[in-house]
Amino acid sequence: MTKEEIKTNAAELADSAWESGFAKVVAATTKTYKQKLAEKQKALDKALKAAAEAYEKGFKDGHTAALKDAGLPNLKNVED
C-alpha cells in the first residue's frame, strides 16, 4: 500500500466514523425529543381533561343552583 492509499483509507475511515457518530447523536437526540414531546402531550391532555371536567361540573352545578334559586324545574329531569 502506498502512502497515498493509506492516507485515502485513513480519511475514509475518519469520515465513516464521524458520519456514524453523527448519525448516532442525531438518532439519540430525536429519540429524546420524541420522548419529551410525548410527555408534554400527555401532561397537556391530562390538564385539558381535568379543566373540561371541572368546567362541566361547575357549569352543571351553577346551572342547577340558578334554576333552583329561580324556582324553576331542572328541565333535564322533566319528561316530555
Domain ranges of the chain: 3-77
Q: Which residue has the cell 343552583?
A: 65
pLDDT of residue 34: 94
Give the whole-number percent of the chain exceeding pLDDT 70. 91
How many alpha carbons lie under 13 Å from residue 14 in its C-beta half-sphere? 6
Residues comprising the chain, all counted = 80
Burial 29-57 (b: 16+ CB within 10 A, else e): eeeeeeeeeeeeeeeeeeeeeeeeeeeee
Model confidence pLDDT, tens digit, residues 12-45: 888 888 888 888 888 899 999 999 999 999 999 9
Rounded to two decimals, the pTM is 0.51
Q: Is the pLDDT of residue 80 over 60?
A: no
